[in-house]
Amino acid sequence: MPAPSPSDVVVHVPVARGAVGDARATVRRHLADISPAPVADAMVVVVAELVTTSLLVGDLSPEESLRLRLSRGPEVVGVEVTAGSTGAGDGYRLVRRALSEQGGRGLRLVDALSTRWGLVYDDRAGTRLWAELETPLAA
């Protein structure tokens, strides 16, 4: 993930209905000028899955929010989603699901679409999921 920069976009996404849609809209606005569009489209999916995973397993109260940071470098587009929870829960892992089962595929999508991704547990800042996608210039 690129180091923090003044050009990064940082937003707080409330733990509420519509959080995933708000995060997707933020990504679309920030990455609107990326060409070709598949990079921005892939990042929208990645952000939606990271936010959804954080909401589902982050053990957050309705008063809390997620911190979403988007960064753009010359070779990568990055995202971080930080939840205030600090526990290393089992929910943050790749799982295999039967085709008939619903849910449980979010981090598999992140893995398939991202160049790199990961998870950091921080006792002070909380649990941070991050992902990077290469831009066309880097390929």
> For 61-88, how does the pLDDT look when each residue is reduced to its tens digit (9 = 90+)?
888 889 999 998 888 899 999 887 655 4
The pLDDT of residue 36 is: 63
Burial class (CB in 10 A: 0-12, 13-18, 19+), 114: buried
Going by C-beta distance under 8 Å and a sequence separation of 6 or more, which residues neighbour residue 39? Answer: 31, 77, 133, 135, 136
Residue 90 — very low, low, confident or very high, per pLDDT cuts 50/70/90? very low
Query: Can you list the domains of the chain with their CATH numbers?
Result: 9-138 (3.30.565.10)
